[in-house]
Amino acid sequence: MKPIEVPLSKGFKKQTTLSILAIILFGITYLAMLVITGFGMYYIGYFGVAVIAALHNLIGIGIGLGMFSMALVLFVFLIKFIFKSHKNDLSNLVEITPDYEPDFFKMIHEIADQVQTEYPKKVYLSPDVNAGVFYNSSFWSLLIPVKKNLHVGMGLINTVTDVELKAILAHEFGHFSQSSMKVGSYVYGLNNVIFNLLYDNESFDRMIQKWANLSGFFAFFLSLGLRIISGIQWILIQLYGVVNKSYMALSREMEFHADEIAVTMTGMKPLETSLLRMALADSSFQTTMVFFENKIETNQTVENVFKCQTTVMNYYAHKDNLLFEKGLPNVSVKDLNKFNRSKLVITDQWSSHPSVEDRISSMEKIAISPANQTERPASTLFRNIEEYQKSITLNIFKDIQYSGYPTPMSQIEFDNEFLKSSKDNEFSPVYNGYYDLHSLELFDLTETPERIDEPIENLFTEEKIDLVYRHLSLTQDAETLTQIAKKEIDVASFDYDGRKYVKKESMRVFHMVKKELNDISQMVSLNDQAIYFTFLKLEEGNNLTPRLNVLYNEIFKLDKEIEAKVETVKAFSEYLEFTGQVLQVEQIEMMVEEMEELETAFKSTVSSFLESDILQSEITPETREKLRNYVKFGLPIFKGNAYMEENLQSFGFVFQSIMFLSTRLYFVHKKRLLDYQAKLLTKYVI
């Protein structure tokens, strides 16, 4: 089979050069820091010995050892990345070989030969909706070549055709197809090493905390050492910003180049259709996993989670009126951006992966007409796909602690329960999706100047739906522009509504967006009021017991209450961030003591959710027991000279549970109101 030759673009060559120059600059600065720190360590150590020799007592020894500890911690910080390694977890993977899967390996070898790269060392099946090349990495893997492994997700195989899978794998192999592409791979590895040096400090911080707890001398000198390290970090982080930006730009070019290789091999359509479907496939898999997470307390599991993924994906595809081709839903760019009304385009927000739309736009420039290809499900490449699916499913659930013996749920049971649950948690189709992502705008039910009378057929039109999603997009655009103005998003320029702006103009554009947002908000609010009065008229006209006003008052009151409770949760969780800082024991004890007032308010919030009548059926027995125990006994976070890590993790569970329950409480009230309105509509109008 003829090898594929795809020339590198000028942009790729330019970004490769810039990335290498940025890393050289960083390296020179780092070596200078290392030399300066080396001299500093020598003099600190020298003075430490001098202090011990001069004082001849425990204080002198303590000061001397403290100075040694400060010198040592500086040295450890600057060289710790050499010993850092990343080993991939293989526990959820299933290895496959050519002897058992000749058809699949034939495809792999054809791709490797065409793109002129090595065969993978090993091939694994994973649970993911993805595929990729991986290897155990460390600083030394930059110097010693490492053979790479391939993993292919069963969640991906389950949702693509064989030609689509070939295109995806060709893209992955394309990253290593030429020596110049290998430069990009090397830059990627070096970028990770620099990241570890500057940011991956969890074990280092724990070591410093334990060391500081041994003695006040150590604590004092280590705090000085950490201040010096902060200065070193600040300098290196400024340079890393340059390195990372250049790497991200290079990474984008690598993605485009790998796409071109895939398109050259299979044509554009297979890669395009698989990319567009991937978000739907992944969300379907995640939804399936959440479903079975909620079944842990009832000791229910499943033999084949991927068949359930298919049920979920097809349900959402039919719900969104997607067309099917080759037995799979066909997602278009329009479907992908169905709810996106944003006019904001950030032109140099250096993301390692370009958007699907950008990738498709780039592929459209490649004029290639491949030979006709007969497509079939990718699963047919494997001799016994169901056995692999069951084996991977078993791996997914093997570490879950069930209270009893887990019983597999049949596929029919899953299908019926999922479909029922989905319908129970959806709003009536009469609303045309108006309320799916829209919370009711608050307005005064008693002081509205006049009733807004609209024909019912005008309330949920496509134009009104568009208003809701324009409101959402404008809200997000305003937030993004604020982040640009605060330099939380580092960009030089951006486009808004087809016009280019520089960073310093972000607040001017923000005010433009804010004005439009206010206008749209008023229009949405007026429509919400029209909906209320139209249904109120319907209720009054049929001499029904007044209920609509009560339901609206309840949800408006609840909205304010939930907002206050969320602020309480946020304040307490933000306060607990001190547990991630390196502090002396006395400081930690003071912080723990001061958090009592915030925790009292937080416990009161937790209790209010536990006592809610509406949430009784929403809280699982396990969650209820954990929340009750927290309210009653608390979760001490510091004992002796150490944090109680298990309790800190338990706080994460409590925060997550309360945020879920607050969302769920609002949803239940909202659905109660909307179901009542839909009942009025279907009974007295339709």
* Model confidence pLDDT, tens digit, residues 482-527: 988 888 877 777 888 878 888 888 899 999 999 999 999 999 998 9
In a domain, 373, yes or no: no
Residues 411 and 457 in one domain: no
Same domain, 504 and 641: no
Contact 257, 11 (CB under 8 A): no
Higher pLDDT, 261 or 241: 261
Q: Is residue 560 part of a domain?
A: yes
Q: State mean pLDDT over 328-345.
A: 83
Could you tell me what percent of the chain has a pLDDT over 90?
41
**Residue 335 confidence (pLDDT) above 80:** yes
**What average pLDDT score do residues 357-372 get?**
77
Asked if the structure places residue 369 within a domain, the reply is no
Q: Are residues 420 and 432 in the same domain?
A: no
Q: Are residues 346 and 330 in the same domain?
A: no
Residue 142 has pLDDT above 60, yes or no: no
Residue located via tokens 């994906």? 313
Is pLDDT above 90 for 401?
Answer: no
What pLDDT does 348 receive? Answer: 44
**Considering only 315-324, 376-385, 613-622, which range has the smallest mean pLDDT?**
613-622
Q: What's the longest Cα–Cα distance across the chain?
A: 99
Candidate from 30-39, 175-184, 225-234, 340-349 with smallest mean pLDDT:
175-184
Evaluate whether 48 touches 68 at the Cβ level (below 8 Å): yes
Bridge partners (DSSP) listed for residue 86: 137
Residues 232 and 321 both lie in one domain: no
463: tokens are 């134009």
Domain-embedded: residue 239: yes
Nearest-angstrom CA–CA distance, 79 and 72: 11
Let me know: does 225 contact 74? Beta carbons within 8 Å: yes
Q: Which of 276-290, 358-372, 392-406, 488-502 has the highest mean pLDDT?
A: 276-290
- 556/653 same-domain check: yes
Structure-model confidence comparison of residues 266 and 403, the more confident one: 266
pLDDT of residue 49: 67
pLDDT-above-70 percentage for the chain: 82
Looking at the fold, whether 615 and 677 belong to one and the same domain comes out as yes
Going from the C-alpha of 98 to that of each of 91, 116, 120, 123, 157, the distances in angstroms are 21, 20, 12, 9, 17
- Which pLDDT score, from 0 to 100, does residue 190 have? 65
What number of CA atoms fall less than 13 Å from residue 387's CA on the CB side? 7
- Based on the domain organization, do 289 and 417 belong to the same domain? yes
d(CA 55, CA 59): 8
What is the predicted pLDDT for the residue at 178?
55
Which of 501, 518, 544 marks a domain boundary?
544
Q: Which of 369, 395, 425 is the last residue of a domain?
A: 425
Question: Tell me, what's the pLDDT at 350?
Answer: 40
Least confident range of 186-190, 323-327, 333-337: 186-190
Same domain, yes or no, for 413 and 443? no
Domain endpoint, select from 487, 522, 544: 544
CA distance 288 to 412: 14
Q: Which of 208 and 21 is assigned the larger pLDDT?
A: 21
| Residue 310 covered by a domain | yes
State yes or no: pLDDT of 145 exceeds 80.
no
Compute CA distances 301 → 128, 389, 520, whole Å: 19, 14, 47
pLDDT of residue 351 exceeding 50:
no
Q: How many domains does the chain have?
A: 4
Q: Return the pLDDT at 524.
A: 93
150 domain-assigned: no
- Whether residue 163 lies inside any domain: the answer is no
Average of pLDDT values for 322-351?
Answer: 78
Each residue's pLDDT tens digit, 531-551: 999 999 899 888 889 999 999
Q: Identify the DSSP state of 579.
A: G
Same domain as 624, residue 560? yes
Residue 162 covered by a domain: no
Residue 103: per-residue pLDDT: 95
Is the Cβ–Cβ distance between 232 and 238 less than 8 Å?
Answer: no
Question: What predicted TM-score, i.e. pTM, was given to this entire model?
Answer: 0.78
Q: Is the model more confident about 237 or about 265? A: 265
- Quick one: 675 and 589 in the same domain? yes
- Domain hosting residue 310, numbered range: 268-336+405-425
Most confident of 25-34, 126-135, 381-390, 585-594: 381-390
- Mean pLDDT score of the chain, rounded to an integer? 83
Lowest mean pLDDT among 126-140, 186-200, 421-435: 186-200
**474 and 440 in a common domain:** yes
Mean pLDDT computed over 81-100: 78
> Of 427 and 341, which is predicted with more confidence?
427
